[in-house]
Amino acid sequence: MIKLIPNFLTLLNLICGIVSIILSIENYPELAGFTILAAAFFDLLDGMAARLLKAVSEIGKQLDTLADMVSFGVAPAVIVFFLMKSALSVSLSESPENITITEYLFLASPILIPVFSAIRLARFNVTDSAMHDFRGLATPANAMIYASFPVMIWAYEGNWYGMSYFMMHTKEILLIMILVLSILMVSRIPMISLKFKSLSLKENWSRYMLIAFIIVIALFLTWRAIPTIVIFYILFSATLWVTGMLRKKSA
């Protein structure tokens, strides 16, 4: 029975994803964001539990992929769809005939999130799962950026409210983010994984540095730390990749 714990945690991840979609539709975006963050927490726990309990299985792997597709592919896309709809100030139910083709394309753009997430997860299942680091941006990290939008609007109705509202209700900014993050998910850029094979500082210095940054930023920025951490994670991983390539060429 104890070896079923990882699968139970994966199902909690899936439940959070489903609840997030429902909350978005019912116009509770901040709660939808929180449940995606909860899904990411359970996703982290199920992998740790599977390794600690030596309960890694093919069924668990496939179940994890299906849960991730809902929680980190579909759920964030629903959040972004409503943000885009708000940015365009359109109503699909009341006046669809007044919506232009360009506006329909903007509204359709969040579909790219689950599409590229599916490609990323499928590729991970057949290649990256055996690697020490990821290739491309992981779907939970991608989803956490989108989930943080409504959470920040809810949490910072002060100094951060104006800037957050502008960024998250500007259709061009949302579209650029969707395109850039979707491409990063299917890119071949090595991204740091927090899977430790040993506690050696020499082998894991980049992981320790990332963890230290996460802790410090989280203490100072609280909810604002989420997008900051993911952006730093992307830039830090890309920098390590580029410097590694330059070292190989100079060697």
pLDDT of 142 higher than 60: yes
Measured CA to CA, the distance from residue 149 to residue 151 in angstroms comes to: 5
pLDDT of res. 26: 94
Residue 247: inside a domain, yes or no? Answer: no
Tokens of 187: 């890119």
- Mean pLDDT throughout 140-152? 90
Residue where the block lists tokens 């849960």: 67
Q: Give a yes or no: residue 180 inside a domain.
A: yes
Buried b (16+ CB within 10 A) or exposed e, 92-108: eeeeeeeeeeebeebbe
d(CA 135, CA 238): 11
**Residue 113 clears pLDDT 90, i.e. is over it:** yes
Query: Does 249 map to a domain?
Result: no
Pick the more confident residue, 31 or 167: 31
Cα-based torsion angle of the residue sequence 12, 14, 20, 23 in order, rounded to the nearest 10 degrees: -80
Structural domain includes residue 245: no
Q: Tokens 């109705």 belong to which residue? A: 157
The answer as to whether 238 is a domain residue is no
**Distance separating alpha carbons of residues 171 and 227, to the nearest angstrom:** 18
CATH number of 7's domain: 1.20.120.1760
Span 24-43, pLDDT tens digits: 999 999 899 999 999 999 99
List the end-to-end C-alpha distance of the chain, in Å, as a whole number.
52
User: Does a structural domain hold residue 189?
Assistant: yes
Candidates 55, 48, 61; CA nearest to 130 is 61
**Tally of structural domains, the chain:** 1
Q: Is residue 156 part of a domain?
A: yes
SS3 26: coil
Examine the pLDDT at 53 and tell me if it is beyond 90: no
Q: Which residues lie across from 191 on neighbouring strands?
A: 134
Instruction: Using pLDDT thresholds of 50, 70 and 90, give the confidence band for residue 131.
Output: low
Burial 173-193 (b: 16+ CB within 10 A, else e): ebbebbeebbebbeeeebbbe
Residues 6+ apart with CB under 8 A from 232: 213, 217
Domain that holds residue 96: 2-195
Q: Residue 66 and residue 11: Cα distance in Å, rounded?
A: 10
Per-residue model confidence as pLDDT tens digits over 235-251 = 888 888 888 787 777 76
For residue 135, the surrounding DSSP H or E stretch is strand 134-135
Query: What is the C-alpha to C-alpha distance for residues 116 and 126, in angstroms, rounded to an integer?
Result: 16
Residue 75 domain-assigned? yes
The residue-averaged pLDDT of 84-88 equals 87
- Residues of the chain above pLDDT 90, percent: 38
Residue 198: phi and psi, rounded to 5, are -155, 175
